Chains A and B, each alone.
Chain A
Amino acid sequence: MEVETSSSSTANLVDKAVVPGDIVLDLTSMSDQTIRLGAGLRQNSDVLSVVKAGKLKFKKPNKYWVESSQKRYVPSVEDTVLGIVVDARADNFLVDIKGPTLAFLPVLAFEGGTRRNIPKFEIGTLLYIRVVKANSCMNPELSCTDANGKAAEFGSLKEGYMFDTSTGLARMLLRSPTCPVLEALGRKLSFEIAVGLNGRVWVNASSPSTVILVSNAIMRSEFLSDVQQKILVEKLMQRVQG
């Protein structure tokens, strides 16, 4: 009985909006289970409570987390983000990733990086990088290689246009199956895009009008449903061709 009510109340909250203080799960009834908690959830003795407002998500078999969207970014490990070089020091670059502090990118954190071939990044260079270390008390550390040490598309992005979005929109753009607005745009236009989980998006295409079209379509699609996104793209294409 107790299990039923708690599981039914959990099932009710999954994919719903939750606010800090909501109780997601009552652990007294469960034993011998490992539950993985993601962002926004905390265990207080016997209950799992929400600490961050957002949507509760659940992935089988045992993963719970809260997804929220905001303009600021909280650095977390293994995120791929877009950073702007702000300064170059002796052993690392200072990079702005929209977090509370600047992040450090070690000068050697490149594929085949040695003291002899340190890349020269000007102030204002846009980089596609990976977060390696992220604590609330230290400056985050970044790297331009993947876990194996290969370059894997990390590094500076040339040309193109970058704009800021919320973290929620960035995650939506990265989801699989592909987000409808990107799919609809991709059918008619050819462009390349890099999405940073810190709420930055970079778009590049052969002509500036394509870039502007893609960036405006993405910026407007944040709160639209799938169908609405497709309609938005169709209307934009008609206006351009007409």
Chain B
Amino acid sequence: MEQRLANTWHMTINEKKFIETALSKNIRVDGRSPVDYRQLTIKFGREDGSSEVQLGETHVIGFVSGQIIQPYRDRPNEGTLAIFTEFSPMADPAFEPGRPGEFAIELGRLIDRGLRESRAVDMESLCIVAGKLVWAIRVDLHILDNGGNLIDTANIAALAALLTYRKPECTLGGENGQDVVVHDPEVREPLPLIIHHMPVAVTFAFFNEGDAMVIDPTHKEEAIMGGRMTATLNSNGDVCAVQKAGGDGVSLSVITHCLRLAALKAVDITSKIKNAVDSYNTARALRKVKRHTSLVAPDITIPDSVMKDNQIGQLAEHKAQKFKEESTKTFDTESVVGIPKETDLFNKKNINFIRKDTDSFIGGPSNWDPYSQSKPPNFVRSSQISPGSSTVDHKQEARTMQIESNSEETKSNNASSGLSRTSSMSQQRTTPKSLKDAVKPKSERKNRPSSASGVN
């Protein structure tokens, strides 16, 4: 008993009185105003459908997976969606391993209600063979750190994971057309889920018997609050769910005021999630391009941009160092991959791409310099590819993927030809290439000014 007392978190009388007095004057302990959210950071993992969300000190990761099952009898042409939560004991000394506590179940139910009852996730598109086979989507939410307001954070994690999840494509084949072929993601591009709108949860905490209200309570504020209410709305202002489980009573005017505030916050958070998901998708598309030219491809470079290579390499290295420093500091920016705003030379994709790789790469002498030691081949590859990819847009990505599947040289007169040429030269790759190899000898350079300018 004593050991359990030693391990739990204790609140002092001083803190309780102080937080309440400060709230009566509309100030919060961390300096926020009562209607401000903490800093929101949304990151994604390598796999589709894995998200990591930080709201202040609260940290939640979401993971979406899909399985093919038999549908329920009363809904033969709809897929299923299930939310699972895991409250890791490392998040809070009050979380015990094993059976989920009352709050864990409430959190799961709340997020489930927000997504299911509002028909945010399209269930009928999850059907493969009506009455026989449907997709069962499972969302796992892991709480890593409880800094207060788990509901909002977990909801954002679930949304971000669902928006970036891709399910493998299935086609019907076989004799009766009843056999289902699930295609490998390498063979056929997996498909995203159809999400109609984004229900965003906004949590309010009430103090002083309903006199004071704050949005996004911290752990300490949650410990002394009198009551809590969560409103789930989307950016159109539709109310998807409202939850108030016990606690102090509040008047109707307070509730309508809260709903109006929640509508504003929902718009804000929706745009943040959308931006993060968009950056992830562009990075993913770029990664696809890289994958199809999975060999070191020094020939990709556009000939008239040889001078640009040096600049690009320099800037890439400079950015790599900057991001290295940034990643050690606390992350202050809101968007996914810390996109710096100066983009005259390059478009957003390019910088995203470099950032993605420097995530896993810290340090090393200049990688673009052919005369320096120790060139991690990955970085050489990326810095070589980035000038090429900066000119590749979505149309060409589709074309390059087709080239890969056809595996033959194409006649197209732009970067994609460089890509296919390298795929045929796969056997020749032995030593890591350098910038010197990137410069094609004059004889090999085709007359490409029209295409390059067209692409540019």
Contacts and interface: CB of A to CB of B under 8 A. Distances in A.
A99 to B, nearest CB: 8
Given A124-B10, A212-B31, A102 B17 contact: no
Contact of B14 (A94, A101, A162): A162
B13 interface: yes
Interface in B3-50: 3, 5-6, 10-19, 21-22, 25, 27-31
Contact of B29 (A87, A94, A158, A212): A212
A216 B14 contact: no
A220 to B, nearest CB: 10
B18 A126 contact: no
A122 B16 CA distance: 14
A101 B6 contact: yes
Most buried by A among B12, B28, B30, B31: B12
A58 interface: no
Instruction: State which size class the interface on A falls in.
Output: 20 to 34
Nearest to B6: A102
B215 to A, nearest CB: 18
A208 B25 contact: yes
Given A96-B10, A122-B13, A161-B29, A212 B5 contact: no
A159 B3 contact: no
A158 B14 contact: yes
Given A208-B25, A215-B29, A101 B12 contact: no
A102 B5 contact: yes
A161 B31 CA distance: 14
B6 A96 contact: yes
B312 to A, nearest CB: 35
Nearest to A216: B31
Contacts of B25: 208-209
B30 to A, nearest CB: 7
A190 B29 CA distance: 18
Interface in B328-378: none
A209 B29 contact: no
A211 B6 contact: no
A161 B18 contact: yes
A65 interface: no
Contacts of B17: 159
Interface in A84-131: 84, 86-87, 94, 96, 99-102, 122, 124-126
A156 to B, nearest CB: 9
A153 B28 CA distance: 29
B11 A124 contact: yes
A202 to B, nearest CB: 7
Contacts of B12: 84, 124-126, 162
Interface in A159-201: 159-162
Contacts of A86: 5, 10
A13 interface: no
B117 interface: no
B219 to A, nearest CB: 11
A73 B11 CA distance: 18
A134 interface: no
A205 to B, nearest CB: 11
A211 B15 CA distance: 12
B2 interface: yes
Contacts of A215: 29
Contacts of B10: 84, 86, 96, 124
B34 to A, nearest CB: 13
A102 B4 CA distance: 10
A67 B6 CA distance: 25
A212 B2 contact: no
A157 interface: yes
A208 B21 contact: yes
A161 B6 contact: no
Nearest to B12: A126
Given A126-B13, A162-B15, A216-B31, A94 B22 contact: no
Contacts of A213: 31
Most buried by A among B3, B6, B22, B30: B6
B408 to A, nearest CB: 57
Given A122-B13, A125-B12, A101 B2 contact: yes
A160 B13 CA distance: 10
Contact of A94 (B5, B19, B28): B5
Contacts of A94: 2, 5
A181 to B, nearest CB: 16
B413 to A, nearest CB: 55
Given A101-B6, A158-B14, A161-B18, 15 more contacts: A86-B5, A99-B6, A102-B2, A124-B16, A125-B12, A126-B13, A126-B14, A159-B18, A162-B14, A208-B25, A209-B25, A211-B18, A212-B27, A216-B30, A216-B31
24 contacts: A84-B12, A86-B10, A94-B5, A96-B5, A96-B6, A96-B10, A99-B6, A100-B6, A101-B3, A124-B10, A124-B12, A125-B12, A126-B13, A126-B14, A159-B17, A161-B14, A161-B15, A161-B19, A161-B29, A162-B12, A162-B14, A162-B15, A212-B29, A215-B29
Interface of B: 2-3, 5-6, 10-19, 21-22, 25, 27-31
Please name the 4 residue pairs, one residue from A and one from B, whose CB atoms are nearest each other, closest first: A208-B22, A161-B18, A124-B13, A126-B12
